[in-house]
């Protein structure tokens, strides 16, 4: 199989690409490699690996790569509400328009696995789990662009979409602005965190289990095609305060308090059902507690400023 991965040098891609190569597949990565990134350096010795410097919005670059691909994994995106709020034009053109353009060029014989976000659910309804049939009510530009891109993929009839929970865990191209990663960093280095609207809930998923979901979707493409799937840890529908409590079990002296005033600009608050994907045979391998233990080790090595999008 020849797989085209856009944005393949990012947080998910730098873990995904080596996994695809380990299967003996040919992998082409299209990325801007904006800072001369070497997160895929370990792949360069593999003859099946081809890095291409370019922009996913430039169809003159994308089209010849697309012509050779059996499967396309469009990871390239501006990820997260703060980054998209800072660069509204980039968020719209990369997160939505580039996907729409891509889907207009994909053939019926090609496979597309598109990662969107369960942030599209916005604000849930009490203790009711959001399923793939729940209404999509994004509360940020990031969520809106991902929902609109997902529609283009599903309307094409050739795609599978993965609605990812908040991802955590160590990766070659690290991100410390994701909630579990951020709170663990603060616990290890600051020993304290102030929570705004600590009751807001989310679902979480390890980056290696996201990779497992991509591979699972490729392996089971014919029976999964045309459908969205939530990808998360069913045991980890947690509020911010509950997440901090789990971290505190492993970081003695970590203090977390709820701010008496102020509010979180990110209004997402929901719990998610992952039953649909689990019914296809996918199950996560990495629990939240094991991921926190992994992050604690990583936070002893990392410097925060290098690994955030904002």
Where along the chain do its domains lie?
A: 2-168+203-233
| Confidence at residue 109, expressed as pLDDT on a 0 to 100 scale | 94
Token pair, residue 206, equals 């390890």
Distance CA 300, CA 242 (A): 23
| Confidence at residue 261, expressed as pLDDT on a 0 to 100 scale | 87
Q: Which CATH architecture has domain 2-168+203-233?
A: 3-Layer(aba) Sandwich (3.40)
Distance CA 99, CA 62 (A): 11
Distance CA 281, CA 134 (A): 22
Positive or negative, the Cα torsion across 175, 180, 181, 183? positive
How confident is the prediction for the chain on average, in pLDDT? 95
Q: Is the pLDDT of residue 2 over 80?
A: yes
Q: Give the CA-trace dihedral at 231, 130, 116, 276, to 10 degrees.
A: 40
Proportion of the chain above pLDDT 70, given as a percent: 98
Q: How confident is the model at residue 113 (pLDDT cuts 50, 70, 90)?
A: very high
Q: pLDDT tens-digit profile of 218-230?
A: 999 999 999 999 9
Q: Is the pLDDT of residue 191 over 90?
A: yes
The three-point CA angle 161-293-211 to 5° equals 20
Token pair, residue 164, equals 């990812």
Q: pLDDT tens-digit profile of 14-66?
A: 999 999 999 999 999 999 998 788 899 999 999 999 999 999 999 999 999 99
Q: Is the pLDDT of residue 308 over 80?
A: no
Average of pLDDT values for 246-275? 93
- For the whole model, what pTM was predicted? 0.95
């Amino acid at each position: 199989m020849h797989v085209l991965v856009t944005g393949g040098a990012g947080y998910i891609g730098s873990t995904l690409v080596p996994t695809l190569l380990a299967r003996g597949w040919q992998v082409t990565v299209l990325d801007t490699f904006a800072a001369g990134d070497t997160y895929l350096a370990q792949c360069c010795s593999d003859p099946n690996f081809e890095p291409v410097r370019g922009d996913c919005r430039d169809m003159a670059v994308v089209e010849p790569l697309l012509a050779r691909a059996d499967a396309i994994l469009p990871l390239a995106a501006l990820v997260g509400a703060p980054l998209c709020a800072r660069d509204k034009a980039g968020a719209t053109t990369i997160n939505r328009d580039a996907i729409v353009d891509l889907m207009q060029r994909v053939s019926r014989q090609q496979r597309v696995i598109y990662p969107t976000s369960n942030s599209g659910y916005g604000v849930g309804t009490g203790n009711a789990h959001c399923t793939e049939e729940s209404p999509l009510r994004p509360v940020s530009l990031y969520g809106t662009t991902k929902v609109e891109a997902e529609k283009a993929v599903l309307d094409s009839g050739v795609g599978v979409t993965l609605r990812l929970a908040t991802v955590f865990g160590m990766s070659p191209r690290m991100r410390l602005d994701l909630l579990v990663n951020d709170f663990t960093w603060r616990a290890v280095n600051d020993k304290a965190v102030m929570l705004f609207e600590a009751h807001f809930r989310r679902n979480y998923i390890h980056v290696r289990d996201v990779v497992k979901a991509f591979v699972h979707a490729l392996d089971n493409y014919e029976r999964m095609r045309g459908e969205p799937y939530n990808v998360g840890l069913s045991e980890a529908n947690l509020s911010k305060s509950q997440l901090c409590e789990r971290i505190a079990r492993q970081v003695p002296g970590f203090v977390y308090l709820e701010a008496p005033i102020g509010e979180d600009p990110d209004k997402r608050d929901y719990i998610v059902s992952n039953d649909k994907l689990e019914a296809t045979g996918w199950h996560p391998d990495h629990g939240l507690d094991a991921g926190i233990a992994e992050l604690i080790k990583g936070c002893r090595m990392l410097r925060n400023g290098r690994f955030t999008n904002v």
